[in-house]
Structure 1
Amino acid sequence: MKTPIAVFAALWLAGCTPAAPDAAPPAADAAPPAAASADATSASPATTLPVAEVVDDPLAVNQAIDEVLGDHVRYEAVIRQLQQAVTANDEAAVAALVDYPFSTVRDGQPLKVADADAFVREYDRIMTPAIAEAIKRQKYSQLMVNYKGVMFGNGEAWVNGICKDDACKDVDVRVVALQPTS
């Protein structure tokens, strides 16, 4: 029996087309997927999606990661490392988890970061108090998983696999987005 998260992820994927490999996760202010219609008979199956419910189940999160992204053990390790590094305010440890080149927006301006050294120099601009708080407070058992990765909070942070081969059988799990949501 599939859990609610796995069912939601599978149904969402059925109506979605994967993004290009270098596409960033959806912006926090992007429109959410269409919610399930009250009159489901008049909506097309590709636009009618179940309303996501938050479950507090780490096994369901693991299953969703396994089914949608790959080996949950690798994702969980990076998620836990990110939370520990942010909690400790360990700039270098956070920088080691990021996929480069890294792009974000701060104060309405694009910010491009070439490598870990540049990330550390820009850490206070990138890791705002709101983003840090979302990462620290996120319960593993309540993570949202979809084909774009694993989302913290309301989209303040995203972790995803970066393909290392053409078949995408080998991936590096990395932080792919740190972004303000308001």
Structure 2
Amino acid sequence: MKTPMAAFAALWLAACTPADPDPASTPAQATMPVAETPSGAAAPAPPVAEVVDDPLAVNQTIDDVLGDHARYEAVIRQLQQAVAANDAAAVAALVNYPFATVRDGQPLKIADADAFVREYDRIMTPAIADAIKRQKYSQLMVNYKGVMFGNGEAWVNGICKDDACKDVDVRVVALQPTS
């Protein structure tokens, strides 16, 4: 998977930026979503956008870095509503599969939405749910890795559906403990 910005950055920065570590082999506190090319190679890191307290600025940053903010905002709002309602199936419908995270220091791989629902209470810890529910849209942090909730407990990003990354599906790409 790769983001539109990562597709551009891969061409621009390929020779000068080392790849991010594999999230499955790194402790959850140190991981963030890794943009990947369709072949699975990690894309290099372009500059990071800063956190602001302005929904219009967040929209503009999403537009500039990731693409159409309306698509991201819809998924962000759906995620917050689903988590607030403790609706495991609605959250599962927003997740990119296969899904990988770390729980109790061990890798946890989820193949599909049915498995996600079965593991929901283990994946959606109270701390992660709280970070998602409390996140103000106007204070989201946005960079090429996606849109971050809290201190990195949740990430939403665009998943390329084609090699040119013209067709993007916005999904939850990470739910992880940060402490």
Please tell me the TM-score bracket, short chain as reference. 0.7 to 0.9
Is residue 2:62 matched to residue 1:69?
no
Task: Work out the CA distance in 1 between the residues paired with 2:70 and 2:17.
Answer: 26
Q: 1:178 aligns with which of 171, 175, 179?
A: 175
Task: Work out the CA distance in 2 between the residues paired with 1:50 and 1:179.
Answer: 20
Aligned to 2:149: 152
| Identical residues among aligned pairs (%) | 85
Aligned to 1:119: 116
Q: Does the CA contact (< 8 Å) of 1:160 and 1:175 recur in 2?
A: yes
- 1:48-104, Cα deviation, whole Å (9 max, x unpaired): x8994x431000000000000000000000000000000000000000000000000
Give how far 1:126 is off.
0.1
Superposition TM-score, scaled by structure 2 size: 0.76
Q: How does 1:81-120 map to 2 (within 5 A)?
A: 81-120=78-117
Q: Does the CA contact (< 8 Å) of 1:27 and 1:155 recur in 2?
A: no
Distance 1:85 1:19, change over 3 A: farther
Larger-Rg structure: 1
Aligned length: 150
Q: Does the CA contact (< 8 Å) of 2:55 and 2:139 recur in 1?
A: yes
Task: Work out the CA distance in 2 between the residues paired with 1:85 and 1:104.
Answer: 20
Task: Work out the CA distance in 2 between the residues paired with 1:147 and 1:72.
Answer: 13
Secondary structure, in 3 states, of the residue corresponding to 1:155? coil
2:29 maps to a residue whose letter is D
Distance 1:17 1:129, change over 3 A: same
Give how far 1:29 is off.
3.0
Superposition TM-score, scaled by structure 1 size: 0.74
Give how far 1:17 is off.
4.8
Q: Does the CA contact (< 8 Å) of 1:85 and 1:91 recur in 2?
A: yes
Is residue 2:52 matched to residue 1:55?
yes
Distance 1:58 1:111, change over 3 A: same
Secondary structure, in 3 states, of the residue corresponding to 1:70? coil
1:29 maps to a residue whose letter is Q
Q: Does the CA contact (< 8 Å) of 2:96 and 2:171 recur in 1?
A: yes
Q: Does the CA contact (< 8 Å) of 1:28 and 1:154 recur in 2?
A: no
- Larger relative contact order (C-alpha < 8 A, sep ≥ 6)? 2
Distance 1:70 1:27, change over 3 A: farther
Give how far 1:30 is off.
2.9
Secondary structure, in 3 states, of the residue corresponding to 1:105? strand
Task: Work out the CA distance in 2 between the residues paired with 1:138 and 1:88.
Answer: 15
Q: Does the CA contact (< 8 Å) of 1:92 and 1:116 recur in 2?
A: yes
Aligned to 1:29: 29
Is residue 2:86 matched to residue 1:80?
no
Q: Does the CA contact (< 8 Å) of 2:28 and 2:101 recur in 1?
A: no
